[in-house]
């Protein structure tokens, strides 16, 4: 679904990604590589193939859009290094000529040398474009139009027979786009759904509700 934001053309993709047309930038947030392994190490039963599945979805998006760069709006890795670093390293070997940029999130705690070794450019605060910035944390009153992540926005929908469903969404506020969490292994925060336009992801489609 094509939208206009801050005078720029973007595509909302049901793969939980945003594509900036002019710069050919594929923008995602909150991948949390390593989270499932971290939970399993702590005795929580989590499927072992979450990282591979998320990276496969990212590969599909790269094939679809052929971007000049992939930008992660924070929380690419989940805290400390574990075996999923090696999974990512093997996967990224297929994209040696593609630029990866990470705007640092609160979970991105690896040493700078690790990001350098992985071929990821690390931005500590904001990544500036002419008409907008990419950052990790949402702001109450952004000074400049902002694209961010962090809260994993979602929407509660009421169905028949008093049933409810929660779906991931892009939240478009007056001066801010909050991206859905890219990983399948995350929760949803529905507390802000009344603060802007909600574009939910359902059955591989984008629907505004």
Rounded to 5°, the CA angle 78-26-69 comes to 90
The number of distinct structural domains making up the chain is: 1
pTM score, whole prediction? 0.92
Report the 3 state secondary structure along 166-192: EEEEEEEECCEEECCCCCCCCCCECCC
Q: What is the pLDDT of residues 91-105, one digit of tens each?
A: 999 999 999 999 999
Which residues form the domain of 71? 2-208
Q: What is the pLDDT of residues 36-60, one digit of tens each?
A: 554 455 555 455 578 899 999 999 9
- Structure tokens, 49: 């193939």
- Report the candidate in 207, 204, 147 with the shortest Cα–Cα distance to residue 175: 147
Q: Domain of 54: which CATH number?
A: 3.60.21
pLDDT at site 45: 46
Cβ density class 38-51: b for 16+ within 10 Å, e for less = beeeeeeeeeeebb
């Amino acid at each position: 679904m094509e939208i206009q934001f801050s005078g720029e053309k973007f595509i909302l993709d049901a793969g939980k990604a945003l594509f900036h047309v002019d710069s050919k930038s594929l923008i995602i947030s909150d991948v949390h590589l390593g989270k499932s392994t971290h939970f399993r190490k702590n005795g929580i039963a989590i499927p072992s193939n979450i990282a591979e599945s998320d990276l496969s979805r990212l590969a599909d998006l790269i094939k679809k859009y052929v971007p000049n760069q992939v930008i992660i709006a924070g929380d690419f890795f989940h805290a400390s290094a574990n075996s999923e670093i090696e999974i990512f390293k093997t996967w990224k070997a297929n994209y040696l000529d593609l630029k990866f940029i990470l705007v640092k999130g609160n979970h991105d705690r690896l040493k700078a040398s690790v990001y350098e070794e992985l071929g990821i450019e690390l931005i500590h605060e904001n990544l500036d474009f002419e008409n907008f910035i990419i950052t990790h944390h949402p702001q109450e009153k952004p000074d400049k139009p902002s694209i961010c992540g962090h809260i994993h926005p979602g929407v509660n929908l009421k169905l028949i027979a008093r049933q409810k469903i929660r779906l991931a969404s892009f939240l478009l506020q007056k001066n801010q786009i909050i991206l859905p969490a890219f990983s399948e292994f995350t929760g949803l925060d529905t507390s802000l759904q009344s603060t802007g336009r909600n574009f939910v992801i359902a059955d591989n489609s984008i629907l505004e509700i």
